[in-house]
Amino acid sequence: MNKIIKVVFLILGISFFSNLCAYADDIDINYNSDKGIFTMPFGRSYDYSNIIVTRAVDGDTLVLENGERVRLIGIDTPELHESDKLYRDSQRTKQDVGTIQKLGQQAYEFTKKLVEGKPVSLEFDVEKYDKYNRLLAYAYLKDGTFVNAEIVKQGFASLMTIAPNVKYSELFDKFYKEARKNQRGLWK
C-alpha cells in the first residue's frame, strides 16, 4: 500500500511540476533585502540578441529589461559610486576620491547616452557570469556599434583584461592607445 501512495504522490508531483514549468513565464521569485527587491525570473530564457538596456549603472555596467546586470567585458571605467574599489583605485592612482568620481560621472554619461533605452545584442566569452553574478558580455547596438569598443575608443575606459575572457583584448588595446594619444574623453 505504501508503494502505491508513493507512486501516486510521485505522479502528482511530476504533473504539478510540469504544469508549473508550462506557466513559468508568468512567475517571478522576489527576494527582499536591505538593498531593495531582487526579482529572479523563474523558468524564463531570454533572447540576448534583442534586449533593452533599461539603465546604465555606471560606465561599464548595465541593467537589462529582465533585471539582470551586465558587466561589459574588457573595459574599466572610473568608479562613480561609493565602494571599496573606489578607495583602492584612489590609493593605486594617487587621485582623490572626488576626482575619480567626476571622471566616473563622465564615463557614466557617455555610456548612458550610448545605450540607455536601446535594444542591444549580447555576445558572451568563455565565462558567462562574474563572482557578483553579473552577466559578462560584449554588447552591440542594432546599428552594429560595438559598445565595449566604442567606450574605449572614445576615451571613457581603461582596459581590464581578465582571462579567459580575452576575445577582443587586442582590439581594445589598440583603441585605448589611440584614445590616449589623441586625448579623447577622459584623457583630455
Q: Residue by residue, what is the 3-state secondary structure of 121-181?
A: EEECCCCCECCCCCEEEEEEECCCCEHHHHHHHCCCCEEECECCECCCHHHHHHHHHHHHH
| Residue 4 in this model has a pLDDT that exceeds 80 | no
Residue 46: the pLDDT is: 82
- At 167, list the grid cell: 576575445
Tell me which of 165 and 14 has the higher pLDDT: 165
Answer yes or no: are the C-beta atoms of 137 and 127 closer than 8 Å.
no
Tell me: the pLDDT tens digits for 156-165?
A: 999 999 999 9
Q: Both ends of the chain: CA-CA distance in Å?
A: 81
Residues taking part in catalysis: 71, 79, 134
Instruction: Determine the Cα–Cα distance for residues 131 and 154; give it in Å rounded to an integer.
Output: 28
**Helices (H) then strands (E): counts for the chain:** 5, 9
What does pLDDT average to over the chain?
A: 86
Q: What percent of the chain has pLDDT over 70?
A: 77
Instruction: Determine the Cα–Cα distance for residues 110 and 120; give it in Å rounded to an integer.
Output: 16
Tell me which of 25-39, 56-70, 164-178 is least confident.
Answer: 25-39
| Residue 168 in this model has a pLDDT that exceeds 60 | yes
Residue 31: the pLDDT is: 47
Tell me: the pLDDT tens digits for 68-125?
A: 999 999 999 999 999 999 999 999 989 999 999 999 999 999 999 999 999 999 999 9
Residue 21: the pLDDT is: 45
Tell me: the pLDDT tens digits for 127-151?
A: 999 999 999 999 999 999 999 999 9
